[in-house]
Amino acid sequence: MAIGTPVYTPKLPYLFAMMFALGILFLDQKYDYFAPIKNTKTYLFAETKALTNKLLISSNNFFDGFKSSQKLAFEIDMLKENIDLLSIENNFIKQNIDSRNITFNGKPSKIIEFDTNQYFCCSNHRLIVSTDSNYIHGYVINEAGLIGQIYNQTEKYVEVILLSDKRHNIPLMHNQENLFCIGKGMGKPNKIQCEIDNNLVNKNLIGSLMQTSGFGGIFDRGINVGYVIDTELKSELLVITIELIASPLITDKVYILTKNDS
């Protein structure tokens, strides 16, 4: 077996390196020779840490600000809804209710489901509103006026039958003449009909305002419902067609009211 040739390794460079390292250590311990370098290192470390903290704080502030902006936007939307509902209340009180006799006790609500295809094509006119209250009876208005009444309630969801629904009836009166009738939904958008004894009619009713009579226990008396747009004589009955004042299509903001019995 061949034996490898020994390799000579000089010791002088190792010795020199050891002496150099000891010299540096001596100078640092004795005269603090490398203090500026250490101070620079400490300064850089401190500055780096401070900058990192500032970045963390800035990022936290950014996300906090973003969350605050989202919260503010939500609060602005809620404020707008409240302003809209106040506008509905004011318009309704000014236009449709004699405030000397009727106490406004409306609860703000919102339409959450309304099949407009069904509304335009068919005779079943219903919508769903959300509410935090429980109702047995009541009627529903929007900023233009009366649109329907409570038909059914399941927990916080109220089914509203619109005045134009084929199955809906509402007691009406002429706002000036001593004429009363039952308004019946025609199954057509914003249209109802009413039959009056023709012997009681003394003038042309086209353009006349029809209001709620207050009979039936649901609606307050004197709420504007609509204007007569057509009349047709059938035997001794005068069939009048009424264009409703309020459309359910104009807004999703509504109020639910109950009859004032005071």
pLDDT in tens, 137-175: 889 999 888 999 999 998 889 999 999 999 999 999 998
pLDDT band at residue 27 using 50, 70 and 90 as cut-offs? low
**Are 193 and 205 in contact, with CB atoms under 8 Å apart?**
no
List beta partners, residue 174: 210
Q: Compare 97 and 10 and report the one with higher pLDDT.
A: 10
CA within 13 Å, CB half, 14:
3
What is the C-alpha separation between 240 and 196, in angstroms, rounded?
8
Q: How far are the Cα atoms of 14, 109, 135, 145, 148 from residue 91, in angstroms, in the given order? A: 100, 16, 24, 8, 17
End-to-end CA distance of the chain: give it in Å, rounded.
125
Q: What is the pLDDT of residue 199?
A: 86
Task: Tell me the pTM.
Answer: 0.64
Domain spans, the chain: 13-96, 107-257
**67-93 per-position pLDDT tens digit:** 667 777 777 777 777 677 666 666 665
Q: Compare 116 and 12 and report the one with higher pLDDT.
A: 116
